[in-house]
Amino acid sequence: MAASMQLLNLKPFQSHSTSTYLPQRHSRPLIIRCCSATSSAAKSYNITLLPGDGIGPEVISVAKNVLNLAASTQGIEFKFNEMPMGGAALDLTGVPLPEETLTAAKQSDAVLLGAIGGYKWDKNEKHLKPETGLLQLREGLKVFANLRPATVLPQLVDASTLKKEVAEGVDLMVVRELTGGIYFGKPRGFGTDENGEEIGFNTEVYAAYEIDRIARIAFETARKRSGKLCSVDKANVLEASMLWRKRVIAISEEYPDVELSHMYVDNAAMQLVRNPKQFDTIVTNNIFGDILSDEASMITGSIGMLPSASLGASGPGLFEPIHGSAPDIAGQDKANPLATILSAAMLLKYGLGEVKAAERIELAVLDTLNRGFRTGDIYSPGNILVGCKEMGEQVLKSLDTKVPASSVV
């Protein structure tokens, strides 16, 4: 199995300036090659697919095709194992994360997730909610570092809700701690206070080692980008944030070449929409990262564009779009598959170290956008409105141009 986090020390983070280098248009017919049928593949990987709920199966189907074609250009073979999770697993097995699914995920080289959740299961008890399965999966895989890039592509700058001069050129990475903090802290639960009032309570708690390890990942990430790291906390109020800041400052001594700054989370939320270009790499805790990365996604024009990678010290990484299951459009061929396709590229780059195959996918997405194809969430007049399947076909068409990815050292 792939030692996910070790890849951060082996492979450089690529800047997003490749948007100016696009494959040329062509009129050749689409040829889909399934690498699993290629006996000459030099490398073979086991990938667990978790389509999940809502639009999840639709976007996973598209991403699987893209992975296969990209792999075939690099002599790679994939063996896919599709397993139930979330609401789909609840309907099949009565639990959101069956033991068989977790076992398959642990035994694979990487995991690609679609989306989980839906109105159907909203009233379930907490342990029977799809979202509980996702938390259990992250905990089971021991993936503690969540990398969420937010880049405003030149082709989509007009899709941003911010003014063009504010959004243009934004290229940031949110490094979110994923398995600690208030989402996992104990005690938690329900009860009654001294006045007999019903209460709900959660605990925001971090140990020093949890902060240290995510801080090091963030510093490594910043070092391979522009050398600037902003740590976001609420150290003026919360003791857990006071420890967070103390430990981040301590770890910063190991990275004298990285410029460290600090910002309270409320100010960070404001600054992200006021002047997002001031940020390069952001590191923050679980709940703040959850919120800020979703906010950052809208700077790019749509949450349907953003991928993510969740990595641990070793073992398979978990790769998923940051959008939800969108039950309102599920089954209508309206979903934007690009975030899942780009998550597949992150799977190749950070999960398997297959950087050239990842670059091919990234370039194919850029070329597809450059040729004017848009799903509804990023559509603007003058472009070509397409559905989920057609967007996938157009990415495959761009991928099949065989334009070489940039050289990687």
Over range 154-172, report the average pLDDT.
91
Catalytic residue among 158, 212, 280, 294: 294
Query: Does residue 164 have an active-site annotation?
Result: no
pLDDT at residue 15 above 60?
no
Look up residue 40 and give its amino acid: S
Q: Where are the alpha helices (DSSP H) in 149-207?
A: 164-167
Catalytic residue among 53, 129, 183, 400: 183
Helix/strand/coil for 260? strand
Per-residue pLDDT tens digits for 334-356: 999 999 999 999 999 999 999 99
Per-residue pLDDT tens digits for 274-322: 999 999 999 999 999 999 998 998 898 888 889 999 999 899 999 999 9
Per-residue pLDDT tens digits for 166-224: 999 999 999 999 999 999 999 999 999 999 999 999 999 999 999 999 999 999 999 99
Longest dimension (CA), the chain: 74
Catalytic residue among 233, 290, 367, 377: 290
Q: Indicate yes or no: pTM above 0.95.
A: no
Per-residue CA distances from 128 to 32, 49, 51, 104, 320 (Å):
40, 21, 18, 21, 21
Phi, psi of 373 (to 5 degrees): -80, 135
Query: Does residue 163 have an active-site annotation?
Result: no
Per-residue pLDDT tens digits for 58-93: 999 999 999 999 999 999 999 999 999 999 999 999
pLDDT at residue 406 above 90?
no
Helices 99-106 + 130-141 axis angle, to 10:
40
CA 174, CA 314: separation in Å to the nearest integer? 21
Tokens 């919120």 identify what position?
291
Encode 298-333 in three state secondary structure.
HHCCCHHHCEEEEECCCCCEEEEECCCCCCCCCCCC
CA 170, CA 220: separation in Å to the nearest integer? 20
CA 91, CA 106: separation in Å to the nearest integer? 23
Query: Does residue 233 have an active-site annotation?
Result: no
Query: Does residue 257 have an active-site annotation?
Result: no
Can you read off the two tokens belonging to residue 397?
Answer: 């068409």
Tokens 């934007």 identify what position?
336
Nearest 5 degrees, angle CA 226-CA 229-CA 230?
Answer: 140
Query: Does residue 294 have an active-site annotation?
Result: yes
Can you read off the two tokens belonging to residue 184?
Answer: 């996992």
Alpha-carbon Rg for the chain in angstroms: 21
Closest CA to 153 of 21, 351, 345, 340: 21
The pLDDT-based confidence of 41 (bands split at 50, 70, 90) is: low
CA 41, CA 328: separation in Å to the nearest integer? 41
Please give the helix or strand (H or E) that residue 48 lies within, else none.
strand 43-52
Tokens 């597949």 identify what position?
344
